[in-house]
Amino acid sequence: MTKTRSLPLLTLLIGALSLAAQAQPAAKPAAKSATAPAATSKGRAAKPEPKPAAPAPLPDADEEQLAAIERAYLGTYDCEFKQSVSITRNSKQGYLDVMWQKSTFTMKPVLSSTGALRLEDVTGRTLMIQIANKSMLLDTKVGQRLVDECLHPEQRAAIERMKAERAAALASGIQRPDNGLGIEPKAAVAAAATAATAAATAASAADSAALAAAKAAAAASALAAAVPATVPPAAAGSAPSAPAAASTAAAAASAASAATAAATAASAAEGAAAVAAKAAEAASAAAAAALPASATPPAAAASAGAPKS
C-alpha cells in the first residue's frame, strides 16, 4: 500500500524536475537581451563630441584704445522695460565685457571726435553707444536696438547737472544750445572747423593744379604749331624726303595729343577746385551752426583760404 502511494509522488517529482530543466536554458537569452542595451548605450557614449573652435586671440590695445576705456562707465545700467546692462573689464587689457540678459559681448572702446564713446563688438554683432545722458545697445546685423534708455549713475548725475545749468542760464537770460544728444558742442565745432580747413586746403591745391594744367596745355599747343616749321627740307627747292615728312607728322600728332590731354587735365582740376570750395563753405556753415548765435564760428578763418570763384 505504501509503495502504491509513493509512485504518484515520484512521478510528480520527476515531472517537476523536467520542467525546471526546460525553463533554465530559456532564461539565459533573456538575461543576454537585458544586457544588450547597456552595451549599446555604453558604445554610443564612448564617441567623443567635437569641441567648439577656440576664439581668435584679441589684438593688443593701442594708446587710443587704452585712453578710450578710461571714459567707459563700469557697473550696472538701468534700462527701459526693467532691463539692465552690466559692463566689466575683460581679462585682456583694453577690452570690456558687456552683459545683457544671458549674453556676454567682448567689446573694444573707441572714442569718436564728438565725445561719444563707441563699444564695438569684436565679432561685429553688436554695438553699444555711450553719450552723456544715456547708453544704448544695438544689433548691427539686423539694424535695430536691443535695449535703450540705459542710465549709469554717472549719467544720472550728468542729467541733473545739465538741468541745473539750463535753469541757471534761463534765469540769467543766456541762451544755451541744447542738441538733446549729450554730445559735447565744443568737440563738434572743432571737428567741423578741421573739416573746413582740410576742404579749403584741397580747394587751393586743386586750383593750383588747374593753373599748371592750363599752362601745360598752352605750351603743348605752341609746340604742335611750331613742329612743321622746325624741320628743314632735304635740299633747296625740293620737297622733304618721305622719312622726314613722316617724322614731322608724328611729332605734330604727339604734340597735339599732349595739348588735348593737358587741356582735359586743366578742366578736371578746375572742376575739383570748385567742388572743394563748396565743401569748405559747407564745413564752415556746419561749424557756425554748432555754435550759439552770439559766438563767432572758429571755421570762419578756414573759409578765407578757399579760392575765389
Taking only the tens place, the pLDDT of each residue in 247-286 is 667 766 777 777 777 777 767 776 776 666 667 666 666 6
One domain, residues 212 and 129: no
Asked whether the beta carbons of 187 and 113 are under 8 A apart, the reply is yes
pTM of the prediction? 0.45
141 and 196 part of one domain: no
Give phi and psi for 208, each to the nearest 5.
Answer: -65, -40
pLDDT at 242: 64
Q: What is the pLDDT of residue 110?
A: 97
Residue partners of 258: CB distance under 8 A and separation at least 6: 216, 220, 223, 224
β strands within 79-134, DSSP E: 84-89, 96-100, 103-111, 117-121, 126-130
Residues 200 and 286 in one domain: yes
**Rama region for 292: left / alpha / beta (φ>0; ψ in -120 to 50; rest):** beta
Are 223 and 290 in the same domain?
yes
Does residue 57 belong to any structural domain of this protein? Answer: no
In a domain, 10, yes or no: no
**165 located within any domain:** no
Q: Which residues of 118-139 are buried (b: 16+ CB within 10 A; e: fewer)?
A: ebbbbeeebbbbbbbebbbbbe
Q: How far apart are CA 160 and CA 166, in angstroms?
A: 10
Q: Which single residue is written with the C-alpha cell 601745360?
A: 216
Same domain for 206 and 271, yes or no, is yes
Is residue 22 situated within a structural domain?
A: no
Domain annotation covers residue 238: no
Cα–Cα distance measured from residue 275 to residue 277, given in angstroms and rounded to the nearest whole number = 5
Nearest to 285 by CA among 269, 270, 271, 302: 302
Please indicate, yes or no, whether residues 125 and 217 belong to a single structural domain of this protein: no
Longest dimension (CA), the chain: 174
pLDDT tens by residue, the chain, 309 residues:
555 555 666 666 666 666 666 655 544 555 455 455 545 555 566 677 777 777 789 999 999 999 999 999 999 999 999 999 999 999 999 999 999 999 999 999 999 988 899 999 999 999 999 999 999 999 999 999 999 999 999 999 999 999 999 999 998 877 666 555 555 556 656 666 677 677 767 767 776 776 777 777 777 677 766 655 555 555 545 555 666 666 667 766 777 777 777 777 767 776 776 666 667 666 666 655 555 444 444 444 444 444 444
The CATH code of the domain that includes 103 is 2.40.128.50
The last residue of a domain, from among 136, 156, 176 = 156
**Has residue 286 been placed in a domain?**
yes
Burial letters 16-37, b for 16+ CB under 10 A, else e: eeeeeeeeeeeeeeeeeeeeee
Residues 297 and 189 in one domain: yes
Residue 235 covered by a domain: no
Same domain, 190 and 295: yes
Number of domains making up the chain: 2
Identity at 85, one-letter amino acid code: V
Angle formed at CA 144 by CA 139 and CA 145, multiple of 5 degrees: 75
Quick one: pLDDT at residue 42? 54
210 within domain boundaries: yes
Owner of C-alpha cell 571726435:
113
Range of the domain at 209: 185-228+248-303
Calculate the dihedral angle through the C-alpha atoms of 17, 22, 27, 29, rounding to the nearest 10 degrees.
160
